[in-house]
Chain A
Amino acid sequence: MEYEPVIGLEVHVQLKTRTKVFCGCSTEYGASPNTQVCPVCLGFPGVLPVLNCLALEYSIKVGLALNCTVQEFTKFDRKHYYYPDLPKNLQISQYDLPISKDGFLEVTVDGKSRKVKIRRAHLEEDAGKLIHEDNFSLVDFNRTGQPLLEIVTEPDIFSPEEAYEYLTNLKSIIQYLEVSDCDMEKGTLRCDANISVRPKGQTGLGTKSEIKNLNSFKAVRDSLVYEIERHIETINNGEKIVQETRLWDDKKGRTVSMRSKEEAKDYRYFPEPDLPPFIISKEKIEGIKKTIPELPKEKILRFMREYGLPEYDTKILVSTKENADYAEKRLKAFPDKDKKPVANWIIGPLASIAANLKCEIYQIKIPANNFIELINLVEKKQVISNLTGKAVLEKMAGMPEKSAAKIIEEENLAQVSDEASLEKEIDAVIKTNPKVAEDVKSGKTNSIMFLVGQVMKKTRGKANPKVVQEILKRRLV
């Protein structure tokens, strides 16, 4: 029998407000333990929560960007469970009236687009962090009370690839809104996945397992691939899937059961009596809508339209808002109608420099005009070769105030196209590679590129490869 997987994702995004969601403590990342706390977030007796309005606004913003209905009447609820990182032993969350619900996010896999249904997005407070030692544990309450937006999909994702794509798009949208860093390493984006399989064509849902401890989008994808196989194998062996929570072991590439027996969860939700319900007016929602910037999907379409770029290039260029703004500035500065060279230079050499420097493309501070000048020098004026161009770009990244022309001049990198001065080098190469030269003469014209390469090497990339090839052809063919 053929099976299809059904996946639902629960994403927690930490909102980038300056202060916590129900008190005035700082949310700055990386402070020493328990230095960003107050009686309110420590849940001391007698304290009361007061909502950070910006957190509410950010939540609405995300809801709107995810095509959700933002509810005009929303309230908070208490969710109860005992854990030492939860100082009140209850979490202020939202139960039946989340800020937004019934949205969707478009994903494209293998050229096919579909809308993944989003069930709800609600605001809640984060818990602290436990640090486990050999025979004791420590609690850090700095994270306690940071605003967290939980975004839950319907069981409406049908492949690990689609899950990966959903997360990538979600992250990109939220980063565009500038309401969260969505950094999985820092824990500002966390994801749990629910997975079940069913015979293809069936509409009901199979027994699901929940996967936790997912530290990257890749881990989400890999764990889903693993779980789908496990589910199918279990069923094919005539066994039953146990509804359970499983932990992903990234190193071993498998999931392990976290709880052997099914734990009855009763969170005893009830309306948070310390926070009156919130009425969010239509005007307020409209006002927030106006602050939503152009989102990745629209930006991709516009880049394709305005700059005539292929979809593949565009997607890379707009991966983050900062990178998109960076690219657009350079695309605009390039005078030609055909903008492809700019895209190539960003996606290619610039991206690899960024990768080497372990930074983002937009963090390379080469001014737009210098960058364009370099492209012109390589692509149009052919003052330097592509190879030299890359080397110059690398130098520019280190000293962004210096122009390409200046670097070329100072380091005497200008391309040599003068036939007379190239002849000598070519002679020498033919002499030292008599066999290859013979091959070319006898018709193996492809071998000519080896000789060109040798000349480039001898001239340390300065020779104009086209001119070298011309001369070699004249001589040998």
Chain B
Amino acid sequence: MELYSLTAHELIKKLGEKEISVEDLNSSVRKRIQDKDPQVKAYVRLSGSKAAVDFKTLNNGPLAGIPVSIKDNICTQGYNTECCSKILSGFKPPYDATVIQKLKNAGANILDTKTNMDEFAFGSSTENSCFGPTHNPWDLDRVPGGSSGGSAAAVAGDEAILAIGSDTGGSIRQPAAFCGVVGLKPTYGRVSRYGLIAFASSLDQIGTFTKDIEDACILMNVISGHDPMDATSVDIPVPDYLGSAGKDIKGLKIGIPKEYFVEGMDPEVKKIIFEAVAKLKDLGAIVKDISLPHTEYAVPVYYILGTAEASSNLARFDGVQYGYRAKSTNLIAMYKKTRGEGFGQEAKRRILLGTFALSHGYYDAYYLKALKVRTLIKNDFDSVFKDCDCIVTPTAPTTAFKIGEKAENPLQMYLSDIYTISANLSGLPAISVPCGFSKNRLPVGLQILAKAFDEETLFRAGSAYERATQWRKEKPKL
């Protein structure tokens, strides 16, 4: 068995027993990246073999020597962090994001090369990257999902042991589903956003890509917790998540929202999800039908609030202090040219949408109304969680689509987040767990949502299902 194909918990054991060395592991993963990334393109700015890590400087923590791959929108001190956008070309942050700091404290071996993404996390396919698209390891003609497609594909293709991504409307869970890996979006406020280059501040959350649930627990144990640098992070004690991974789900009350199984959904996906629900029932869960009546508004609400915040967050990219600057003769021209040349098509579209939604005379009709509907969506969940422990849905309405298939149709693209957006709007934790394959061997993901700060239930349900199914043993042929 090659080291790169193992899980973090397997590797931690081997490292602990001195069966392997940190160097062995590092070169195994780097070799794999060198061999396979030319096809998958999960990473950007590949450093090749020249990347030298001084392993002696790694801390001796719970992740000692474990390579961790980082999405290109999370700041790593001294290493390029460009959000896969031309406008941030050459940007080397002067500081580490809090998650990076925590990973370093835990001894992680942070890869200097970052994972590919849709520019500024705007997209669901990783096609909107200034470095070109990432390919799905299960079918190289298909997208890995997005926006954290690079992180998902890297873990799926064994080019990463653990990966960090960000999820604003499904950007971790949807690619995790498309690539057949475990993807977790924690509760808003559970993991510090300090150092995550913001797309939509009230929706963004850093989360994890792992090969199984146990690894997700290990990674969450490291990155969770209150951060004085992030006023929206919450000071609630972090449990030992590993404690939930082995539990059974007898008596666990699972809600199935009827609004999530409507027309437009791939019948194959529907069938696979219902098989998964049946499995959960077999394992002792109590399954009941529930209703989340405002579900249909989630996508429009998301695209108003998300773009509004994005238009504001992206205002700082003006060529003055860092990143790309277009040559011009005066200040205003410099702003215009820099932003005109630096941002890609989708970024421009969202900045325009968001600017419009916040404009005088439109604010009440769009932004304010969207905020109100957001509250209604939250309330839906609050009332459902009065007698459910978790909610199970498909992660995405389809399996991975072809590269280029939806590139010309942003509305179609936006709909691929239809099942994931509500968790961001209501701040709830949600996970995507592999739950089977379509006839053409494309992975399908099962989404589980829980109450705020109850990631433990996600891990409990996810790991019980994982143990009973073994989907994770399947690997793409690269």
Contact = CB atoms under 8 A, between A and B. Distances in A.
B477 interface: no
A270 B231 contact: no
Interface in A45-98: 45-51, 78, 80, 82, 84, 87-90
Report which residue of A48, A78, A275 has the largest number of chain B beta carbons within 10 angstroms of its beta carbon.
Answer: A48
Interface stretch (B35-43, B50-58, B314-322): B314-322
Contacts of B315: 80, 82, 88-90
Nearest to B356: A268
B320 A48 contact: no
Report which residue of A45, A82, A276 has the largest number of chain B beta carbons within 10 angstroms of its beta carbon.
Answer: A45
A427 interface: no
Contact of B75 (A46, A84, A87, A273): A46
B117 interface: no
Interface in A271-305: 273-276
**Interface size, B (range):** 35 or more
A94 to B, nearest CB: 16
A376 B194 CA distance: 67
Contacts of A268: 311-312, 355, 358-360, 363
B173 to A, nearest CB: 21
B187 interface: no
Contact of A89 (B74, B202, B231, B316): B316
B62 interface: no
A45 B197 CA distance: 5
A90 B231 contact: no
A125 to B, nearest CB: 14
A50 B226 CA distance: 13
Nearest to A278: B231
A274 B200 CA distance: 10
A275 B197 CA distance: 16
B231 A46 contact: no
Nearest to B336: A82
B232 A46 contact: no
A50 B228 CA distance: 8
Contacts of B322: 44-45
Contacts of A275: 231-232
B196 A46 contact: yes
Contact of A45 (B316, B320, B358, B359): B316
Interface residues of A, number: 28
B261 interface: no
A270 B321 contact: no
A398 interface: no
A48 B229 contact: yes
Nearest to A81: B315
A139 B320 CA distance: 10
Interface stretch (B7-15, B92-100, B429-437): B92-100
Report which residue of A87, A270, A276 has the largest number of chain B beta carbons within 10 angstroms of its beta carbon.
Answer: A270
A39 interface: yes
A87 B94 contact: no
Interface in B373-421: none
Contacts of B93: 39, 44-46
Given A44-B93, A270-B312, A275-B231, A89 B194 contact: no
Interface of A is mostly: loop
A84 B201 contact: no
A46 B358 contact: no
B75 A80 contact: no
B114 interface: no
Interface in A432-467: none
A411 interface: no
Given A48-B193, A266-B360, A276-B231, A43 B316 contact: yes
Contact of A44 (B73, B94, B202): B94
A309 B94 CA distance: 61
Contact of B81 (A43, A45, A87, A90): A45
A47 B355 contact: no
B194 A46 contact: yes
B431 to A, nearest CB: 24
B297 interface: no
B201 A274 contact: yes
B367 A270 contact: yes
Contacts of B316: 43, 45, 87-90
A352 to B, nearest CB: 50
A80 B335 contact: no
Contacts of A139: 320
B95 A90 contact: no
A89 B197 CA distance: 16
B308 interface: yes
A45 B360 contact: no
B103 to A, nearest CB: 15
B275 interface: no
Contacts of B200: 273
A269 B360 CA distance: 9
20 contacts: A43-B321, A44-B93, A45-B197, A45-B316, A45-B322, A46-B93, A46-B97, A48-B193, A48-B194, A78-B312, A82-B315, A82-B318, A266-B359, A266-B360, A268-B355, A268-B358, A270-B358, A270-B363, A273-B309, A275-B231
Given A46-B198, A90-B315, A274-B198, 14 more contacts: A42-B321, A44-B321, A44-B322, A45-B197, A46-B93, A46-B97, A46-B197, A47-B195, A78-B312, A80-B312, A266-B359, A266-B360, A269-B358, A274-B231
Q: Which are the 5 A-B pairs with shortest beta-carbon distances?
A: A273-B201, A89-B315, A268-B358, A273-B202, A45-B197
